[in-house]
């Protein structure tokens, strides 16, 4: 049996088109319902995005005499950035951060949590689910404060207290292993969303298929690998798309904990853009960096959508 599963699954795909007169009659209602969203998206997303593209082609600055008379510089900002070691380094750090925290960490742990919660034998599901959900509902600043305390360099830091039980000296975790630290924090924060997505997907897997595989002698791992995973591949790729986009854009958590340091070791792209555009007032270069990041995310998005079209 062969079928194609697209992401997102469109319910409308199987619905016959509305007759022309009915569509015309519903036109004002559709416009009324969609209008506010369209206006807001246009005002706050589309227009700023186009303005960013315009700024990226200029040498606009926020301070200094150059701020009075911005000049069109063509692709100079892009050429500068693509040959700039700091920017390329920030892209590399963003890739590492996204790969380990979102694509591997959150996805794997989210899947494990979702599978555990779907097991009938698990006791205390409510407590377990709440514990996993907690990081998602905590505001970003509070989460950052909590982790600043956990990773604090003095002997009062939670992690240092734990390692101290084994006789270890206090360590400044955000200085010694900064990238690993923020990866762990981001995994902690994002695992709940992954769990919810995967839990919903797992509930849609027909129990009879799993039962049939079991009767045929498949082990639990084989069932997951050859039955469950192909059936939920769509939602998994949808999650990967969403988490990649949101993780590439992470700013507050990293800025609060390390501000891109030490020595630029956690200067992910969002921090680099902030530094350039707002701290150093070079809006033109900052905008160009944003556009490059946007293009990278779009390419990744297209790859995910293509990969999500799988045969079962």
Q: In this chain, which stretch among 95-103, 138-146, 255-263, 294-302 interacts with another protein, using CB under 8 A?
A: 255-263
CA 28 remoteness from chain centre: 36
Are 263 and 176 within 8 A, CB to CB? no
Which of residues 78, 80, 128, 224 is near another protein by CB under 8 A? 80
Assigned token pair, 308: 């999500």
* Residue 280 is a binding residue for another protein (CB under 8 A): yes
Distance CA 143, CA 139 (A): 6
Q: In this chain, which stretch among 12-20, 64-72, 189-197, 299-307 interacts with another protein, using CB under 8 A?
A: 64-72
Any residues with CB less than 8 A from the CB of 310 and at least 6 apart, and which? 4, 5, 230, 233, 234
Residue 133 CB, shortest distance to another protein, in Å, is 29
Which of residues 75, 79, 86, 226 is near another protein by CB under 8 A? 86
* Residue 179 is a binding residue for another protein (CB under 8 A): no
What is the number of alpha carbons within 13 Å of residue 215 lying toward its C-beta?
A: 6
Which of residues 128, 172, 229, 251 is near another protein by CB under 8 A? 172
Residue 251 CB, shortest distance to another protein, in Å, is 13
* Residue 63 is a binding residue for another protein (CB under 8 A): yes
DSSP single-letter state for residue 311: E
**Which residue(s) pair with 311 in the sheet?**
4
Residue 202 CB, shortest distance to another protein, in Å, is 41
* Residue 66 is a binding residue for another protein (CB under 8 A): yes
Distance CA 109, CA 112 (A): 5
Binding-site ranges for another protein (CB under 8 A): 59, 61-68, 80, 86, 172, 174-175, 257-264, 278-282
């Amino acid at each position: 049996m062969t079928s194609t599963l697209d992401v997102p699954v469109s319910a409308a795909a199987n619905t016959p088109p509305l007759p022309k007169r009915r569509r015309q009659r519903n036109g004002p209602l559709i416009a009324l319902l969609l209008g506010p969203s369209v206006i807001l998206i246009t005002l706050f997303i589309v227009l700023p995005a186009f303005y960013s593209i315009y700024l990226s082609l200029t040498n606009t600055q926020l301070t200094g005499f150059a701020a009075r008379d911005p000049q069109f510089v063509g692709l100079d900002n892009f050429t500068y950035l693509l040959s700039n070691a700091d920017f390329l380094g920030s892209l590399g750090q963003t890739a590492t951060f996204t790969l380990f925290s979102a694509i591997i960490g959150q996805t794997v742990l989210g899947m494990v949590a979702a599978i555990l919660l779907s097991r009938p034998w698990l006791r205390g599901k409510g407590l377990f689910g709440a514990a996993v959900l907690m990081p998602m509902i905590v505001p970003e600043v509070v989460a950052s404060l909590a982790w600043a305390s956990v990773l604090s360099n003095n002997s009062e830091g939670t992690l240092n207290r734990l390692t101290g039980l084994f006789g270890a000296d206090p360590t400044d975790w955000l200085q010694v292993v900064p990238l690993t630290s923020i990866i762990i924090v981001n995994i902690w924060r994002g695992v709940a969303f992954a769990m919810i997505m995967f839990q919903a997907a797992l509930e849609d897997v027909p129990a009879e298929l799993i039962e049939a595989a079991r009767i045929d002698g498949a082990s639990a791992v084989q069932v997951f690998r050859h039955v469950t995973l192909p059936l939920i591949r769509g939602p998994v790729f949808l999650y990967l798309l969403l988490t990649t986009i949101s993780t590439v854009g992470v700013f507050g958590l990293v800025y609060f904990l390390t501000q891109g340091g030490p020595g630029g070791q956690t200067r992910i792209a969002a921090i680099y853009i902030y530094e350039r555009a707002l701290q150093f007032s070079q809006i033109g270069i900052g905008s160009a960096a944003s556009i490059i990041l946007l293009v990278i995310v779009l390419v990744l998005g297209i790859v995910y959508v293509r990969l999500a079209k799988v045969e079962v």
